[in-house]
Amino acid sequence: MKIAILSRNPKLYSTQRLVQAAEQRGHSVRVLDVLRCYMNITSHHPTIHYRGQTLDDFDAVIPRIGASVTFYGTAVLRQFEMMGVFPLNESVAVTRSRDKLRSLQLLARKGVGLPVTGFAHNPDDIQDLLSEVGGAPLVIKLLEGTQGIGVVLAETHKAAESVIQAFMGLNANIMVQEFISEAGGSDIRCFVIGDKVVAAMRRQAKEGEFRSNLHRGGQASPIRLTPEERSTAVRAARIMGLNVCGVDLLRSNHGPVVMEVNSSPGLRGIEQTSGKDIAGMIIEFIEKRIKALENTTDRSRTRGKG
């Protein structure tokens, strides 16, 4: 197979591991800087170009699109889809997962456990919103934050009020969420491939911090999931339409709750804590999917999806 990896930085651990795993399994692989891909969307033969070359013979594309380039990155990914290239995750699913509010709404509709969450636009509605989600302490989040930046714990009603006012004053979109204090500063990353959780880790926030992100100094360790946690993670991935993702759960008094679903989950932490070849499993998944597509129908089936 010929595989394209959309990544801005070929030196990242995750990118390097995917390249290695693909080559080990006998595939040719190319890392493309998504911002250097340009395309002709009008021709009968949709094309993608890269530094003067036409890219036209890839079998699969692995999007590793950073949050800051979601718009352009998903447009390039969609163009690969228009050309009939198999995307590890589809562009619509990536776009969906980048908006925390939209993601939680979709999960809620299917009955997946979530922290009580609210959303409002007008400062006049803050008081009512605060009581609707159960009052302080509360977590206030920017809808498009990542790596823990843009997530604030407001311990008192007054603090919540002023943080929300400040964000609204900056025209930032935020959601207001029940603080799951019983999670004790830890969350669970479930790494899903297809319809399985292939590995999981617990991330514990450093002393004095409630955000467990590894980028914020959190520590990862292996964890055994309960069957309910496993099925919650797999259902969340399916509802989001993601083949490969990281589903982040909190252990709450009312069972596992989904915090977010990440469509480009990092490989370093999960490979190191689980000791598993996750990159290899991802490539294997692509091999199986492409084989299944070739067996059932011609590849044009994947063409033309929007």
Residues that bind ligand ADP (CB under 6 A): 115, 139, 141, 145-148, 151, 177-180, 183, 187, 205, 210-213, 248, 250, 259-260
Output the smallest distance, CB 54 to ligand ADP, in A.
Answer: 36
**Spatial contact of 240 and 112, defined as CB atoms under 8 Å apart:** no
**Residue 88 or 154: which CB sits closer to ligand ADP?**
154
**Residue 96 or 211: which CB sits closer to ligand ADP?**
211
Output the smallest distance, CB 209 to ligand ADP, in A.
Answer: 9
> What is the number of residues in the chain?
306
Can you spell out the DSSP letters for 247-289?
A: EEEEEETTEEEEEEEESS--SHHHHHHH---HHHHHHHHHHHH
Output the smallest distance, CB 203 to ligand ADP, in A.
Answer: 7
Query: What distance in Å separates the CA atoms of residue 61 and residue 80, rounded to the nearest whole number?
Result: 7
Output the smallest distance, CB 180 to ligand ADP, in A.
Answer: 4
**Spatial contact of 276 and 14, defined as CB atoms under 8 Å apart:** no
Output the smallest distance, CB 28 to ligand ADP, in A.
Answer: 34
**Residue 46 or 246: which CB sits closer to ligand ADP?**
246
Order of strands, edge to edge, in the sheet holding 86-87?
A: 28-32, 2-6, 60-63, 86-87
**Residue 132 or 277: which CB sits closer to ligand ADP?**
132
> Crossing angle of helices 13-24/278-296, nearest 10°?
50
Question: Which structure tokens are listed for 92?
Answer: 């619509």
Cβ–Cβ contacts within 10 Å for residue 83, how many? 19
**Residue 59 or 248: which CB sits closer to ligand ADP?**
248
Output the smallest distance, CB 62 to ligand ADP, in A.
Answer: 21
**Residue 78 or 100: which CB sits closer to ligand ADP?**
100
DSSP reduced 3-state for 298: coil
